[in-house]
Amino acid sequence: MSRTVLRRVLRWGFLLVALGFGIWAVAGQWRAVADGLGRLSWPLLAGSLGATLAALGAGMMMWRALLADLGSPLHVVDAAKVFFVGQLGKYIPGSVWPVLAQMELACDLGVPRPRSAAAFFLTYPVYLATGLLVAGATLPVLAGESVARYAWLVVLLPLLLAGLHPRVVNAVLNLGLRLIRRPPLERPLSRRGVVTSAAWALAGWVAYGVHLWLLVHGLGATGPAAAVLSLGAFALAWCLGFLVVIAPAGAGVREVAMVAALAPVLDQGPAIAAALVSRLIVSVGDLVCAALAGAAAKAALRWNGQGGADRPGDGAPNPKPGTDDERHPVRPGADRDRGTSRGDGPGPAAP
């Protein structure tokens, strides 16, 4: 079996396993999910899915901004394929699958594996810091007598924000690379990269808040308090779900945290239904984004192969003659055409 065939078999196997675990995570609670779906109108469900797609798109743009700042900007179509297909690995128990998938997919586009791994791991402190910031700014305001339960946010948040300083991030990344005997970052993360990625992350949290608010609104929670708590509840639930690495995509942990955060505006039964339907919609959003990104990438490759011009870049300057400026957006096949590889190992072009 050739290496190309083996890689394709492994990728399809990865997708099937991730899909199976994603279905399993929802199927175990299907009766409660079906009950929640029956109480919600189709316009609300469609709006919630649309907000989810917007939030997932913001997450992809955050990762793309980090990768570009580290030295490998990708066209949005290529970035979407790498990010969304790789993210399906979060449904498999263990935290290693998404980064492995993204490393391999990005390598086909000329991104060195250590760099794509660095961008992947950077997304989580950005998500955690901004998510806890959103939770800390919203949940205590409407918690009433339960405000003490959120005191830990006040203590933890300054540490996370300090950890996002470029000097701290670069030092930690280079230490990790040194421990695994890899060379240090060729281009350190800049302040602009951190600010840009944090802005995309905050936009994503707002979209996720809209996603959950539409659900709780349909289940009986109305008024401004429901909207504010939906924003903070989703952010806090995601952060806690991420920290429990043994649960695929935070399954179970996220729902418990969301129900508790929504308690001031929603009874336990409807809150459980909202949390489970939210899980289903986010899972559907992951699949939709992965499918659309894969189809768009194949269509773009087919169009380029028929003599179309290269896809426009990010506005990065063209490399000077005789240089290899990695800030110039990478397109599939560019390294193959030059007879070189910008990854840390040979690999076929993206299918």
Q: Kindly list the averaged pLDDT for each block of 10 residues, start to end, along the chain of length 351.
A: 56 55 57 68 94 97 95 92 85 72 86 87 88 89 71 79 84 81 82 94 97 94 90 93 62 81 88 88 90 83 60 43 42 42 35 38
**Contact status, residue 196 vs residue 173, Cβ threshold 8 Å:** no
pLDDT of residue 6: 56
pLDDT of residue 90: 74
pLDDT of residue 327: 42
Please report which residue ranges of the chain form alpha helices under DSSP H: 3-27, 30-38, 42-70, 76-87, 97-107, 113-138, 151-163, 166-179, 191-218, 224-243, 253-261, 268-305, 334-338
pLDDT of residue 323: 39
- The string of DSSP letters for 50-83 reads HHHHHHHHHHHHHHHHHHHHHT--B-HHHHHHHH
Cα separation, 101 vs 117, whole angstroms: 10
- The string of DSSP letters for 225-244 reads HHHHHHHHHHHHHHHHHHH-
pLDDT of residue 50: 97
Q: Does residue 219 sit within a domain?
A: yes
DSSP-based three-state secondary structure for 96: coil
Q: Is the pTM of this model over 0.85?
A: no
pLDDT of residue 192: 93
Q: Does residue 350 sit within a domain?
A: no
- Domain enclosing residue 142, as ranges: 31-305
Q: How many separate domains does the chain show?
A: 1
pLDDT of residue 341: 36
pLDDT of residue 338: 38
